[in-house]
């Protein structure tokens, strides 16, 4: 599976986890689903920032790259906010909805525009190499060069 399909699959898994967290009312289930969401989302953002964006830097306009990184910062900020709320706090649900909106726009743009452009412009062997590196980092998150933080910085 190439890198772009892997990332699209993660987008779908993140959406599923968001829905499960939003729907869960049992504190144990909600906590477990939220923990899984935090882990997957943190790894996903790190893989994009550490592997995908540097690998496609030639295809990205500087302004788009800056916008993507700003979007990542906002996602991390909202996720960090969520960690401080109790799971039954009404603010938690509002911030979770905000996170969902941010992620919907992020995933939709990548899946429908960025990834389509990359398939058209990036050689198949480069996509395969990127896919192998991505797969390794998804399976072993500690292999990423820098640890992504939940701060907005």
Fold category of 3-141 in CATH: 1.20.120
- Tell me the pLDDT tens digit for each residue of 56-78: 888 888 888 889 999 999 999 99
Which pLDDT score, from 0 to 100, does residue 153 have? 34
- Tell me the pLDDT tens digit for each residue of 116-152: 888 888 888 888 888 888 778 777 666 555 433 333 3
Which one, of 76, 68, 83, lies nearest residue 147 by Cα?
Answer: 76
Tokens encoding 20: 């499960």
Task: Tell whether the torsion through CA atoms of 4, 136, 46 and 24 is positive or negative.
Answer: positive
pTM, 2 dp: 0.85
R_g over Cα of the chain: 16
Residue-range domain boundaries for the chain: 3-141
């Amino acid at each position: 599976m190439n890198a772009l399909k892997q990332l699209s699959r993660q987008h779908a898994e993140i959406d599923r986890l968001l829905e499960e967290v939003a729907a869960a009312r049992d504190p144990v289930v909600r906590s477990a689903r939220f923990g899984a969401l935090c882990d997957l989302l943190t790894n996903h953002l790190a893989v994009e920032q550490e592997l995908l964006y540097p690998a496609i830097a030639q295809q990205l306009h500087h302004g788009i790259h800056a916008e993507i990184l700003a979007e990542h910062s906002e996602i991390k900020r909202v996720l960090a906010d969520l960690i401080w709320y109790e799971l039954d706090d009404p603010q938690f649900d509002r911030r979770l909805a905000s996170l969902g909106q941010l992620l919907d726009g992020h995933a939709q743009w990548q899946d429908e525009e960025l990834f389509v452009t990359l398939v058209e412009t990036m050689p198949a062997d480069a996509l395969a190499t990127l896919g192998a590196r991505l797969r390794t980092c998804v399976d072993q998150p500690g292999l990423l060069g820098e640890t992504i933080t939940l701060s907005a910085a």
